Structures are given as structure tokens and as C-alpha cells.
């Protein structure tokens, strides 16, 4: 089995390229394709770019191979989450979601699905999922692990087993890990969903998402929903994400190194509480995370006394951007209470970039220490 770096670089490529073909194919920017004469119609060829196009296929081949399933690309992470909810949460048996995951997924369920009569229920990521599944009998169980922003972890194998025993479809939002960090389909989930806006594309210059399915029937359902729903990714964004994917292994390695160094350093800084990163050997999530994550992620969180302390950090730091989103090249801090997450006012989600570790630690610790 070839390694992560090789798979990222070679993913989506052609096995036997023809002489004279470009080594790097650009995005295919066309809405429509030559059909030929009516009697020449051939199944499987491109005809209209809402249904399929060659740039999607390259991206989906690369990401699907990493996820271990069949991939469908979407124009954002939320478009991918929405497709899963609309395709698998019905009026009889609704959806069970994490109460502490990405907040827009909750808004989507509460504001768009519940009014249509779809039952919506919640369970904390680190809570008792078997009990919640037994109580609510959902048709779809959606997990997010590690969760954003809390970095809590749940046991994908155990929840998938309980959900399947109750006849539910299981989806895992894998955004914080990327397919290099965790393979939900190998852990028993039916669907892996992600915002590729974050580390997967990795340069903070586009929005994109995807759903990978283990079962071809689920895959066809998701694809059909995309074609009919019409929320489709632009070939330019898809191609940029494919280009970013080539360096995912390198970026993730540096981001995780930076996260580890910062997590350890932050614990020693007075006034910094509750530093959480699953890669720390004594983090409450570590023992479980080790059994299902393949490598560590680049996002951590900690809590400062109040908003002013967060302001001070941002004012004194020269390497930390005040920005939301994560997984990019530059380190960014986001005070999550600002977005309405039910977290302390001073909780900071820190997305570690690919700066030199020593520079970053000196900058952040210095800024927190009033230097």
C-alpha cells in the first residue's frame, strides 16, 4: 500500500497517459458538450455540466480513493451536509445530530427540516449515542469527530453498530480530520461528509465539500440529489482543491506539529485554561481518538478569561490572524462565542498554519504573556 503523500500527489491522475497530453490538466470550463448525431449517443459520455464533468471526476477519483468510497463533490461543506440530510432524513424517521458540532448543520436541521415535519434530535458528541438512538429511532445518524469547535470525540465503530442495528444510515462529518486523518467508512460509517474548504484544499481561497459513500446505492442517491437539486461545484474551484490536495500530507504534518507544540506550551501559560487537542496523551479524548484517527489534526482550542484577553492576544500577536475557518496556511484564531456556539466567551479555536514551529510558539506565548 502506497503512503499518504504519494496518494495525494498521484490521486485523480490517468494510469496510462497518451503522449502529448498535458501532465497537469486544467479545469474543464464548459456548460455543455458535443453530442454528435442522434444515433451516436453513447452512454457515459458528458453532455451537460450539471450532471457531470471531467474536472469533478478527477477530484472525486482522488478523494474517493482516500476515503475508500465513491465520492460526490459539492460547492461547499454545507451543500454536502444538506444533500445528506435531504437524502436520508425522512418524515417518519428523522435525524440525530451532534448538539456541539458545526452550528450551521443545526440551523439547517432546525430551520429547514423540522418545519417540513422531519424529526430532529440531538446528542452531545461525547454523550450516550446508543441511548439517544434507542430513544429517537432516527433514520439518519450524523456524527462529527473530533467536533468543531470543542474537539470532542465519539466512537464511530460503536455508534455505527448501534445505528445499523436500529436500521439507520450513519454519516460522519470528517472535516477536522480530512481523509488522511480518519477514514469513517473503514470504521463502519455509510457516508463520509466534509467541508473541503478547510485543510483538504488548504489555501483559504475557495469553498467546496464532498460526500463519499460505501454503498453504491447511497452514492447514486447523493448524486441524483446533486443533479436534481442543482447545487454544483464550479470546475475552477474543484481544480484548485485538487491542486491543494497534492500537498495535504505535507501541510497536515506541519499543522499537527505546530498544534502539538502550541498545546504543550499553552498549558504552561497562566490564564490559559482547558487546552484541548486529541493528540495530547492526557487529553480526555486521546485514548478513543487513537483507536480511530490515523494521524493528528492541526486545530486546537483553549479558553482565556474573557473577550479582552482574546483581544489582547490578537493585538500583540503578529502571526495569528483574527479569522474564522481553519486548515489554511496561516494560523488563525476564532472566538467561537461570536458565532453563537454555546461555549465560554473566551474560548478560542486555533487553526495552526504551516509557519515554523519555533516562530509560532514564540509569537503566541509572547502575545499571551503580554510581550
Residues that bind ligand PLP (CB under 6 A): 76-78, 81, 102, 144, 148, 173, 175, 195, 197-198, 207, 209
Residue with smaller CB distance to ligand PLP, 170 or 368: 170
Residue with smaller CB distance to ligand PLP, 222 or 361: 222
Non-local CB neighbours of 256 within 8 Å, separated by 6+ positions: 279, 295, 296, 297, 298, 352
How far, rounded to the nearest angstrom, does the alpha carbon of residue 285 sit from its chain's CA centroid?
19
Kindly report the number of other CB atoms within 10 A of residue 137's CB atom: 15
How far, rounded to the nearest angstrom, does the alpha carbon of residue 52 sit from its chain's CA centroid?
23
How far, rounded to the nearest angstrom, does the alpha carbon of residue 280 sit from its chain's CA centroid?
21
Q: What is the nearest approach in angstroms of ligand PLP to the Cβ of residue 233?
A: 11
The rounded distance, in Å, linking the Cα atoms of 164 and 141 is 10
The two beta strands, 299-303 and 321-322, are unpaired
Q: What is the nearest approach in angstroms of ligand PLP to the Cβ of residue 77?
A: 2
Residue with smaller CB distance to ligand PLP, 161 or 329: 329
Q: Which residue is nearest to ligand PLP (CB)?
A: 77
**In terms of C-beta density within 10 A (0-12 exposed, 13-18 middle, 19 or more buried), how is residue 3 classed?**
exposed
Residue with smaller CB distance to ligand PLP, 74 or 129: 74
Residue with smaller CB distance to ligand PLP, 184 or 265: 184
Q: What is the nearest approach in angstroms of ligand PLP to the Cβ of residue 209?
A: 5
Of 70, 82, 129, the C-alpha closest to 143 is 129
Q: What is the DSSP string of 258-303?
A: HHHHHHHHHTTSTT-EEEE-TTSTTSTTHHHHHHHBSS--SEEEEE
Residue with smaller CB distance to ligand PLP, 76 or 182: 76
Q: Which residues pair with 142 in a beta bridge?
A: 171
Of 76, 351, 3, 7, the C-alpha closest to 199 is 351
Residue with smaller CB distance to ligand PLP, 77 or 235: 77
The rounded distance, in Å, linking the Cα atoms of 104 and 110 is 10
Q: What is the nearest approach in angstroms of ligand PLP to the Cβ of residue 293?
A: 15
Q: What is the nearest approach in angstroms of ligand PLP to the Cβ of residue 141?
A: 16
Q: What is the nearest approach in angstroms of ligand PLP to the Cβ of residue 88?
A: 16
Q: What is the nearest approach in angstroms of ligand PLP to the Cβ of residue 181?
A: 13
Residue with smaller CB distance to ligand PLP, 11 or 149: 149
Q: What is the nearest approach in angstroms of ligand PLP to the Cβ of residue 17?
A: 32
Amino acid at each position: 500500500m502506497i503512503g499518504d503523500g504519494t496518494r495525494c500527489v498521484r490521486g485523480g491522475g490517468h494510469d496510462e497517459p497518451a503522449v502529448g497530453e498535458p501532465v497537469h490538466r486544467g479545469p474543464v470550463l464548459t456548460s455543455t458538450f458535443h453530442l454528435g448525431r442522434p444515433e451516436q449517443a453513447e452512454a457515459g459520455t458528458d453532455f451537460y455540466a450539471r450532471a457531470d464533468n471531467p474536472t469533478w471526476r478527477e477530484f472525486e477519483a482522488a478523494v474517493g480513493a482516500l476515503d475508500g468510497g465513491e465520492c460526490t463533490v459539492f460547492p461547499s461543506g454545507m451543500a454536502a451536509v444538506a444533500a445528506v440530510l435531504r437524502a436520508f432524513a425522512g418524515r417518519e424517521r428523522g435525524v440525530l445530530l451532534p448538539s456541539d458540532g458545526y452550528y450551521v448543520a443545526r440551523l439547517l436541521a432546525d430551520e429547514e427540516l423540522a418545519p417540513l415535519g422531519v424529526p430532529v434530535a440531538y446528542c452531545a458528541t461525547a454523550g450516550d449515542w446508543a441511548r439517544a438512538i434507542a430513544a429517537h429511532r432516527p433514520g439518519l445518524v450524523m456524527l462529527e469527530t473530533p467536533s468543531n469547535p470543542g474537539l470532542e470525540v465519539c466512537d464511530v465503530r460503536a455508534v455505527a453498530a448501534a445505528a445499523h442495528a436500529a436500521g439507520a444510515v450513519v454519516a460522519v462529518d470528517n472535516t477536522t480530520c480530512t481523509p488522511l486523518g480518519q477514514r469513517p467508512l473503514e470504521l463502519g460509517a455509510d457516508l463520509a461528509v466534509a467541508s473541503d474548504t478547510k485543510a483538504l484544499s488548504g489555501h483559504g481561497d475557495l469553498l467546496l465539500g464532498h460526500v463519499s459513500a460505501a454503498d453504491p446505492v447511497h452514492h447514486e442517491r447523493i448524486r441524483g440529489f446533486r443533479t436534481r437539486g442543482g447545487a454544483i461545484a464550479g470546475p475552477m474551484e474543484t481544480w484548485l482543491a485538487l491542486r491543494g490536495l497534492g500537498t495535504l500530507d505535507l501541510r497536515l504534518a506541519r499543522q499537527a506539529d505546530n498544534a502539538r507544540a502550541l498545546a504543550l506550551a499553552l498549558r504552561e501559560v497562566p490564564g490559559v485554561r482547558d487546552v484541548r487537542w486529541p493528540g495530547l496523551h492526557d487529553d480526555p479524548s486521546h485514548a478513543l481518538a487513537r483507536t480511530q484517527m490515523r494521524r493528528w489534526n492541526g486545530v486546537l482550542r483553549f479558553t482565556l478569561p474573557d473577550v479582552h484577553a482574546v483581544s489582547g492576544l490578537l493585538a500583540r500577536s503578529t502571526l495569528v490572524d483574527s479569522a474564522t475557518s481553519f486548515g489554511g496556511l496561516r494560523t488563525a484564531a476564532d472566538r467561537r462565542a461570536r458565532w453563537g456556539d454555546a461555549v465560554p466567551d473566551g474560548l478560542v479555536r486555533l487553526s495552526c498554519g504551516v509557519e515554523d514551529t519555533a516562530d509560532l510558539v514564540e509569537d503566541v506565548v509572547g502575545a499571551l504573556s503580554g510581550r
